[in-house]
Amino acid sequence: MADKQESYLVLARKYRPESFATFIGQEAMVQTLKNAFSANRIAHAFMLTGVRGVGKTTTARILARALNFEDDNGARPNLDLETEGKHCRAIIESRHVDIIEMDAASHTGIDDIREIIDSVRYGPVSAPYKVFIIDEVHMLSKAAFNGLLKTLEEPPPYVKFIFATTEIRKVPITILSRCQRFDLRRVGPEALQDYLGGILEKEGITFEQDALQLVIRAGEGSVRDNLSLLDQAIAHSGGDIKAETVRQMLGLADRALTLDLFETLMKGDAASALEQLRHQYDAGADAATIVTDLASTTHLVTRLKVVPGADKDPVLTPDEKTRGKEMAQKLNIRVLSRTWQILNKGIQEINNAHDAIQAAEMVLIRLAYAADLPTPDELIKKLGDAPQGGSASAQSAPSGRPTGGGGMQAAAGGGARMQAVSVNHAPQASPVSKPTMSISTFEEIVALCGEKRELVLKHALEANVSPVSVADGRIEIALTPNTDQSVASQLSQKLKEWTNRPWMVTVSKQKAENTIRQQRDRAAQEKLDKAMQDPSVKAILAAFPGARLVNEKSLIDDEPPAEQWLDDGERDEGIDE
| DSSP string computed for 14-58 | HT--SSGGG--S-HHHHHHHHHHHHTT---SEEEEE-STTSSHHH
pLDDT of 495 above 60: yes
Rounded Cα–Cα distance for residues 85 and 70 (Å): 5
pLDDT per residue as tens digits for the range 31-60: 999 999 988 899 999 999 998 888 899 999
Q: Measure the CA–CA gap between 207 and 209, rounded to whole angstroms.
A: 7
- Which CATH number describes the domain made up of 442-514? 3.30.300
Residues 405 and 378: their CA atoms lie apart, in Å, by 7
pLDDT at 377: 65
DSSP string of 317-381, one letter each residue = -HHHHHHHHHHHHHS-HHHHHHHHHHHHHHHHHHHHSSSHHHHHHHHHHHHHHHHTSPPHHHHHH
Return the H-helix or E-strand segment holding 507.
strand 504-511
H-run or E-run covering 445: helix 442-451
- State mean pLDDT over 483-491: 81
Q: What percent of the chain has pLDDT over 90?
A: 23
Q: State the burial class of residue 300 (Cβ atoms within 10 Å of its Cβ: 0-12, 13-18, 19+).
A: buried
CATH 1.20.272.10 fits 255-371, yes or no: yes
Q: What are the pLDDT digits (tens) for 265-276?
A: 988 888 999 999
HSE at residue 171, side-chain half, CA atoms within 13 A, is: 24
Predicted confidence at residue 556, as pLDDT, reads 52
pLDDT of residue 523: 84
Q: Has residue 493 got a pLDDT over 90? A: no
- Asked whether the predicted pLDDT for residue 108 surpasses 60, the reply is yes
**385-442 per-position pLDDT tens digit:** 655 544 444 444 444 443 334 455 433 334 434 344 444 444 444 444 555 567 778 8
Tell me which of 3.50.50.60, 3.40.50.2300, 1.10.8.60, 2.40.30.110 is the CATH number of domain 189-250: 1.10.8.60
Q: Is the pTM of this model over 0.75?
A: no
Q: Please give the Cα distance from 225 to 201 (Å, whole number).
A: 19
Check residue 431 and report its DSSP letter. Answer: P
CA distance 122 to 214: 51
Confidence of residue 93 (pLDDT cuts 50, 70, 90): confident
pLDDT given for residue 384 in this prediction: 65
* pLDDT for residue 84 is more than 60: yes
Residue 379's pLDDT is: 64
pLDDT per residue as tens digits for the range 454-468:
888 888 888 888 888
* Average confidence score pLDDT of the chain: 80
CA-CA distance, 4 to 209, in Å (whole number)?
Answer: 29
Q: Is the pLDDT of residue 171 over 50?
A: yes
Distance CA 333, CA 331 (A): 7
All residues at 6 or more sequence positions from 462 whose CB lies less than 8 Å from its CB, including other chains? 446, 515, 516, 517
Q: What b/e string do you get for 201-225 counting C-beta neighbours within 10 Å, with b at 16 or more? A: eeeebebbebbbbbbbbbbebbbbb
Say how many C-beta atoms besides its own lie within 10 A of residue 296's C-beta: 16
**Weakest-pLDDT range from 177-181, 377-381, 408-412:** 408-412
Among candidate residues 531, 284, 266, the one with its CA nearest the CA of residue 399: 266
pLDDT at 251: 67
Structure confidence at residue 110 (pLDDT): 92
The pLDDT of residue 485 is above 70: yes
Question: How far is 547 from 533, CA to CA, in rounded Å?
Answer: 15
Q: With 50 as the cut, is the pLDDT of residue 498 above it?
A: yes
Task: Compute the C-alpha angle 132/136/140, nearest 5°.
Answer: 85
Task: pLDDT band for 236, please (50, 70, 90 cuts).
Answer: confident
DSSP-derived secondary structure letter, 402: B
Calculate the alpha carbon distances from 332 to 178, 267, 323, 398 in Å.
50, 14, 15, 18
One-letter amino acid of 394: A
**Domain edges within the chain:** 10-183, 189-250, 255-371, 442-514, 518-576
DSSP 250: H
Q: Are 286 and 322 in contact (CB under 8 A)?
A: no
Least confident of 165-179, 247-261, 277-291, 358-372: 247-261
**Superfamily (CATH) of domain 10-183:** P-loop containing nucleotide triphosphate hydrolases (3.40.50.300)
- Which is higher by pLDDT, 82 or 152? 152
- Most confident range (mean pLDDT) of 126-140, 252-266, 316-330, 563-577 is 126-140
